[in-house]
Amino acid sequence: MRAAQITRLDGPDAVRVAEVEEPSSAEGAEQVVIDVHAAGVAFPDALLTRGLYQYKPELPFTPGAEIAGVVRSAPADAHVAAGDRVLGLTMLSGGMAEVVALPAERVFPLPDAVSFEAGAGILFNDLTVQFALRTRGRLAEGETVLVHGAAGGIGTSALRLAPALGAARTIAVVSTEEKAEIARAAGASDVVLADGFRDAVKEITGGRGVDVVVDPVGGDRFTDSLRSLAVGGRLLVIGFTGGEIPTVKVNRLLLNNVDVVGAGWGAWTFSHPGYLQEQWAELQPLLASGVVPAPQPEVFPLEQAAQAIASLENRNAKGKVVLKLR
């Protein structure tokens, strides 16, 4: 089968499409084997190409945390069967391949209304955002959510999900006007530019500030994000695409009664068996009914895996990025 492979740790340029072995028959007997139609691309894939992610597999390896496709075979006791349209989580690597074998608990039925390309952009970001907003961020009905990196994968996911989880208003923070359009299309109530976002947020909220900040960027925006919180507000630490890991002077938390909250979804799922299924039970009807709209991904062919991954590293990605394999 064909698969994207990271062959050297010197960036996305070294990603090649190669012929590799399909999952073995032993794997196929115990796991759900899926013919992959589309695979999601996320920022950790870019980090993996440079050996900068906490998970460091042996070279060469196939990146990709999430897929959408059709079940080829499944164990008799699995909740899916051959022919079913499904989504799947590899969680860390292996998704950018024509065939993937996954444990049944990481396979979910794909709602009929959602295409394979859009589906491949759902699980990794939407489940992270749902975990961050609900479980860690305690998002309450009627609250206002500020979203950094709002035209990216996590960002567009936060804009799509937050209203369904109770937010009355979402304020998107982006670096360019072109990205502002992407954030609006994902449902942002307001869009502000990263440069000077603190003043813009103050004005939009009448000086009150926001209840929750979704922060996949970190870096030098962090202090202004804290200053943008209303009393009782929560800043959700999701990632550091800005490069720098910020530090916090805790007197700010005390003086303003605000929280900085870590939101590491992958680690949480490993320490909370059954949590993925609970998450899907909430998300699936929202997606199937259209209350949460499907992602509108930018789609690259598998042959352009290197360019697709590079677009995240180069900050050019337009919304969620997905590879088409079939």
Ligand X SMILES: NC(=O)c1ccc[n+]([C@@H]2O[C@H](COP(=O)([O-])OP(=O)(O)OC[C@H]3O[C@@H](n4cnc5c(N)ncnc54)[C@H](OP(=O)(O)O)[C@@H]3O)[C@@H](O)[C@H]2O)c1
Q: How far is the CB of 117 from ligand X (least distance, A)?
A: 16
- Distance, in Å, from the CA atom of 318 to the CA atom of 80, rounded to the nearest integer, reads 33
Our finding on whether 243 is near ligand X (CB under 6 A) is yes
- Distance, in Å, from the CA atom of 105 to the CA atom of 43, rounded to the nearest integer, reads 24
Our finding on whether 133 is near ligand X (CB under 6 A) is no
Q: How far is the CB of 39 from ligand X (least distance, A)?
A: 13
Which span sits near ligand X by CB under 6 A: 17-25, 38-46, 79-87, 115-123?
A: 38-46
User: How would you classify the pairing of strands 190-193 and 210-215?
Assistant: unpaired
Read off the tokens for 216. 């996949």
Q: Find out whether 195 and 301 touch, Cβ atoms under 8 Å.
A: no
Q: What is the DSSP letter of 91?
A: S
Please say which residue, 163 or 266, places its beta carbon nearer to ligand X.
266
Q: Cα separations (Å) of 36 from 87, 105, 113, 297?
A: 9, 17, 18, 17
Chain centroid, CA 57 distance in Å: 21
Of 173-232, binders to ligand X (CB under 6 A) are 174-175, 179, 194, 216-217
Our finding on whether 312 is near ligand X (CB under 6 A) is yes
The amino acid at 42: A
Residue with tokens 């295409």: 115
Which span sits near ligand X by CB under 6 A: 3-11, 37-45, 222-230, 281-289?
A: 37-45
Our finding on whether 95 is near ligand X (CB under 6 A) is no
Please say which residue, 80 or 222, places its beta carbon nearer to ligand X.
222
Angle between helical axes of 123-130 and 153-161 (0-180°, round to 10): 60
Of 141-170, binders to ligand X (CB under 6 A) are 149, 151-155
Our finding on whether 275 is near ligand X (CB under 6 A) is no
Number of residues engaging ligand X in binding (CB under 6 A) = 30
Helices (H), ranges, the chain: 25-30, 43-48, 116-119, 123-130, 153-161, 177-185, 197-204, 222-227, 251-256, 265-271, 275-288, 305-313
Q: How far is the CB of 187 from ligand X (least distance, A)?
A: 16
- Nearest-CB residue for ligand X: 152
Please say which residue, 33 or 323, places its beta carbon nearer to ligand X.
323
Q: How far is the CB of 247 from ligand X (least distance, A)?
A: 17
- Distance, in Å, from the CA atom of 293 to the CA atom of 124, rounded to the nearest integer, reads 16
Among 42, 114, 261, 299, binds ligand X (CB under 6 A): 42
Please say which residue, 1 or 92, places its beta carbon nearer to ligand X.
92
Residues contributing to the site for ligand X (CB under 6 A): 42-44, 124, 128, 149, 151-155, 174-175, 179, 194, 216-217, 238-243, 263-266, 312, 315, 317
